[in-house]
Amino acid sequence: MRLILLVLLLTAFAASAQREGFKVFGDSLEVYNAFTFSPDGKKLYTSEFTRITTPEGEPDVERWGDRNRPKVTLYEYDLIEGNPKNKRKLAFANDSLDSSPHLNFRGDKLYFSSRRPLPGADSLDGKAHVWFSEKQTNGEWSEANCFEEINEAGYYTMYAQELADGSIMYQSNVPGSVKNESGENSQDFWISEFKNGTYQEPQNVTSLNTGIQEDQLVVNRKNNLIIFTRNNDSEMYAFYSLKVNGVWNEPKELFLTDLPGFKEQSPRLSPDGQTFYFAHGLLVMSIPLAELLSEEDIKLIE
């Protein structure tokens, strides 16, 4: 079935995509929400469904809780000649609550979104929050830690990335976010700058936020290119913005494909920043960044 889906998807890309040059990365992957590479390109971290076989012998997704949510958790792979191998669940990962990993540029802190209870709470609040694990001197990952400086009970805080200067950029609907058409807080990008060893009061990244749900982000090492998604009425499309004179300029749509029914999600960059990845359905696609942006854009970020 997966082979049929892959053939249909690639055929559809050839027939109707607005860009050429896409390649399938890791054709056995079924990524849910996000993935991330280690700085040396030797490891891949993902969040994926927990797959099971029903008593009738049919493939299915394991589920949990009263809302029958699909189980999703965090995995690590070895990248061997560019192919993900030796899949294993991360020791600190919860069996059903963790997703959307993002490794920092040093490779020693892995951020992820989790529905675990916040410290001091005895139950779930129905929201996702940012947690992290740190690489120990023995090479093992620590227990999960709640990023208490940016999480707020009752609000979503997700998709965090540590920037090259140590600041944290993430998505949240905390008070101060742009209101949507219904008058509710939308999902916006926020940043907590890291100065003198301390995370500062989070600030709304106003030049990127619209009242539509700003989603899943990746920022390059030079902190002058951001690629992210906007999610509106179940449609998700990728956008990018360049930082000019310290300010993110007006985002532009990337127009990855015009295929219906497949969200453009989980934008990521290779460790060297030269290749762009995204998930289309559960498949991971890649394309050289130079084929995605204009020559002028490439010169601005180099």
Here the contacts of 140-144 (C-beta below 8 Å, separation 24 or greater) are 140/91, 141/90, 141/91, 141/92, 141/110, 142/92, 143/92, 144/92, 144/93, 144/94, 144/98, 144/114, 144/116
In the predicted structure, residue 258 carries a pLDDT above the cut 70: no
The answer to whether 113 touches 129, Cβ cutoff 8 Å, is yes
114 CB-near residues (< 8 Å, 6+ apart): 94, 97, 98, 99, 128, 129, 130, 131, 144
Over the stretch 73-90, which tens digit does the pLDDT of each residue have?
A: 999 999 998 889 999 999
pLDDT band at 31 (very low <50, low <70, confident <90, very high): confident
In whole angstroms, give the CA distance from residue 269 to residue 221: 10
Q: Hunting for tokens 């130079």 — which residue is that?
A: 290
pLDDT band at 262 (very low <50, low <70, confident <90, very high): low
Task: Quote the mean pLDDT of the chain.
Answer: 88
Q: Residues of the chain with pLDDT > 90: what percent?
A: 65
Over the stretch 185-216, which tens digit does the pLDDT of each residue have?
A: 999 999 999 999 999 999 999 999 999 899 99
Q: Which residue has the higher pLDDT, 83 or 232?
A: 83
Over the stretch 150-169, which tens digit does the pLDDT of each residue have?
A: 999 999 999 999 999 999 99
In whole angstroms, give the CA distance from residue 280 to residue 49: 15
In the predicted structure, residue 19 carries a pLDDT above the cut 80: no
pLDDT band at 233 (very low <50, low <70, confident <90, very high): low
> How far from chain centre, in Å, is Cα 274?
18
Predicted confidence at residue 257, as pLDDT, reads 73
In the predicted structure, residue 4 carries a pLDDT above the cut 80: no
Over the stretch 97-128, which tens digit does the pLDDT of each residue have?
A: 899 999 999 999 999 999 999 998 888 888 99
225 CB-near residues (< 8 Å, 6+ apart): 219, 240, 241, 242, 243, 301
Predicted confidence at residue 61, as pLDDT, reads 82
pLDDT band at 301 (very low <50, low <70, confident <90, very high): very high
Predicted confidence at residue 279, as pLDDT, reads 84
Judge if pTM exceeds 0.75: yes
Helix/strand/coil for 274:
coil
CA proximity to 222, closest of 302, 106, 122: 302
Listed range (9-23, 189-203, 283-297) with the worst mean pLDDT = 9-23
The answer to whether 258 touches 17, Cβ cutoff 8 Å, is yes
Q: What average pLDDT does the segment 136-153 reach?
A: 96
In the predicted structure, residue 64 carries a pLDDT above the cut 60: yes
The C-alpha angle 157, 160, 164, rounded to 5 degrees, equals 150
Q: Residues of the chain with pLDDT > 70: what percent?
A: 90
1 CB-near residues (< 8 Å, 6+ apart): 59
Q: For the chain, what percentages of helix, strand and coil (3-state, to nearest 5) are there?
A: 10, 45, 45
